[in-house]
A and B are shown apart, each in its own frame.
Chain A
Amino acid sequence: MRGAPATPTDVFLRGRAAAAQARAFAEADERALDGLVSVRPRSAVPRPQPVWDDAEVLVHEAVGERYRRLVLASDTIAATAQAGQFLMVTVPPNAGDTILLPRPMAIHRRRPAHGGAAGTVELIYGVVGRGTRALAAVPVGGTLQLTGPLGRGFEFPCGAGSALLIGRGVGICGVMGAAEDAAVAGIRTTMVLSGRSAAQLLGRIDSAELGVRVIEATDDDGSSDVATLGERLRGHFDSAAPDRTPPDVVMVCGAGVLARLAAELGAHWGVPVQASLEAHMACGLGYCHGCAAPVRTDPSVEGPLVCADGPVFDAAIPIV
């Protein structure tokens, strides 16, 4: 085989093997989410009115091998976005390639305007397809059109004094807003940062800045395995030490299997669990009806939408 050029069939088969693995993960997530999530009760805090804005790109840089970080100037969105909300990012044409649909992205960090500095939001994305390849070409100093803030975010229950946040991959961005709110509210927070390898974990610097205690879990040493992680978290929080009592709420984003683990931990500790979901969407506002959430309904009734009813849902182990 050495030196033999890959034939188109070789390339196809290699791609298919990778796709089969991705599909196996997706199917595991789908099974894990079956019956798990429901629309959260109406919030006492009104959602901010979304806007669209032409945001200047202040930072656009690689983060590790897989991700890119965007810092975007938008006073309105930075001032109004709630933890766990997302933006629709319109991708400008790149080298003759036109991207039609905006891409949904979680708001990783919010920094409202202060002094003379513009308000900013920070996004992190993986370059995974045509849209994100075109997005990666946007230069610093250019602008990106954003629509948002969108969706139903994370909310701390009244009186919560501690929280466990679980994020995997770019899903870490989905829960980082909750860590920001927790820091402001004085809620003691532990965050699981899960990813393929330690070198690629997102959120370490943010967690340090926000005073979040970090538990790392990676595929390369097996610590991200759901059963292993679950055992470790039970051991961590079921301790007799005063700062190791179970959290008052669990918030999770990044994988259906982790949402299920969070729901199991929530049932074990008797605390509520909120899970943020991902979906393909076109509008982000609810009118295209593209992002049906995995909630079973009567076939004649449309189920909830990830964009408008989520992306954050309540997660609880179904009672059989």
Chain B
Amino acid sequence: MVPVRDDTTIPVARATSADARAAIPDGRAVLAVARAAFPDARAAFFAAAPPHPAAPPHPGFLGADTVDLSVRIGSLTLHTPVMPASGCFGPELGALIPVAELGATVTKTVFGSARGGNPVHRLTEIPAGMVNSVGIPSHGPAGYLAALHPRYAALDAPTIISVGGHRVGEYAPVVAALGEHGAAYELNVSCPNLDRDGTDIGSDPAAIREVVAAVRLVTDKPIIVKLPVLVASIAACARAAEQAGADAVCVANSIPAMPLDAQTRRPVLGNVIGGLSGPSIKPIVLRLVWLASRAVQIPVIACGGVETVDDALDYFSVGASAVQVGTASFARPFAAVEIVRGLRQRCLDSGVGSIRELLESEAD
């Protein structure tokens, strides 16, 4: 009984007939049938991995697998266009899901100096979604490299390191301090700019340009700029990132919100305000992804309320090249992997070799 809004999950967990199996063409359905052979659903999910989960070494090489889901972010090729959203993944998940099936992992944001995080309560759920104000505890780059990076590096997927700052000048030193570690950097510019009265760095195209240009000077690795929702012009922000040398933009982040206790009208969160995430923000982010995709040539990575294969395809249809899965992973740790498998299966079912062709075939 996993959420029925996801068409890739199994409404009939105990389907045993061949007909029932055929009706639900996805990995979890097959494994539900085979469940008896495994000690638990996690083990069955691992065993249901497609025979060739590894990437073709370069786009165009299709090998035995006729579906190519790969996507290029600058010099980096991801074998699938699905990755976790920053803050919604940790190396702890390495044993719970087949991480190798993801295009990449994305770390929690690393700041220049250590920070302890916000007071409790740090998160809550309201009918509109999840609201969190964790405050992004960070050990700083040295602490990250010592304690966390080895655990990410041990996972069988490229590590995209999320980097944050509270002044435009704080990003490049963190990237420089991370040295050669990480396959790419995602600049989290949804942070209050302490030099500009707390306005988000990412809402100011000039500040974005400055951050990206400075980071470009210290690394040749791909740079992704993670833009916030509340901006005057997402097109202007995305173009600023592109012009300053970014290899992709990620659109978007959680939406600033303020949950009140229904009984007391007092703030629920220790920090009073937090970021709203979950399926209800998807239509807001779809618009932003559509606008950003029309504004820039670099890939747009969509992030906002992705739970299912169809959510991912919606984003691809408005111009996204990849998606990040965040809040959905808390209830279903396997959500991102399930989307990868579902995308591949949809392509196979339609006899096409890519997501672009799948969308074209749907449009016919």
Contacts and interface: CB of A to CB of B under 8 A. Distances in A.
Interface of A: 12, 15-16, 18-20, 23, 49-54, 74-77, 90-93, 97-102, 130-131, 138, 142-145, 147, 279-283, 285-292, 294, 297-303, 308
Interface stretch (B123-131, B232-240, B308-316): B123-131
A280 B123 contact: yes
Given A289-B122, A302-B137, A52 B92 contact: no
Contacts of A290: 122-123, 132, 134
A292 B120 contact: yes
10 contacts: A54-B32, A99-B125, A102-B331, A285-B90, A288-B88, A288-B134, A290-B122, A300-B113, A302-B117, A303-B116
B258 to A, nearest CB: 17
Contacts of A302: 115-117, 137, 139
Contact of A286 (B4, B90, B114, B136): B90
Contact of A98 (B3, B42, B123, B262): B3
B276 to A, nearest CB: 11
Interface of B: 1-5, 13, 32, 35, 39-43, 87-93, 95-96, 108, 113-117, 119-125, 127, 129-130, 132, 134, 136-137, 139, 261-264, 278-279, 327-334
B206 to A, nearest CB: 30
Given A100-B278, A288-B134, A292-B119, A92 B90 contact: no
Nearest to A281: B123
Contacts of B121: 280
A130 B127 contact: yes
A143 B11 CA distance: 10
Contact of A300 (B87, B96, B114, B261): B114
Contacts of A18: 263
B41 A288 contact: no
Contact of A101 (B3, B136, B331, B333): B331
A18 B263 CA distance: 8
B96 A100 contact: no
A198 to B, nearest CB: 28
B136 to A, nearest CB: 8
B108 to A, nearest CB: 7
A271 B238 CA distance: 61
Nearest to B263: A19
B129 A100 contact: yes
Contacts of A288: 87-88, 90, 123, 132, 134, 330
A282 to B, nearest CB: 5
A51 B40 CA distance: 8
Nearest first, the 5 A-B pairs at minimum CB distance are: A287-B90, A19-B263, A302-B137, A76-B40, A285-B92
A249 B134 CA distance: 35
A295 B331 CA distance: 27
Contacts of A299: 115-116
Contact of A92 (B1, B32, B93): B1
B124 A280 contact: yes
Contacts of B132: 282, 288, 290
A49 B125 contact: no
B113 A15 contact: no
Contacts of A280: 120-124
Given A19-B261, A93-B3, A287-B93, A52 B333 contact: yes
- Choose among A143, A147, A281, A302 the residue with the greatest number of B CB atoms under 10 Å from its CB: A302
Contacts of B1: 92, 138, 142-145
Contacts of B127: 97, 130
B262 A15 contact: yes
Contacts of B5: 93, 98
B26 to A, nearest CB: 15
B125 A287 contact: no
A50 B90 CA distance: 14
Contacts of A279: 120
A195 to B, nearest CB: 23
- Choose among A54, A300, A303 the residue with the greatest number of B CB atoms under 10 Å from its CB: A54
- Choose among B125, B130, B334 the residue with the greatest number of A CB atoms under 10 Å from its CB: B125
Contacts of B262: 15
Nearest to B45: A52
Nearest to A289: B134
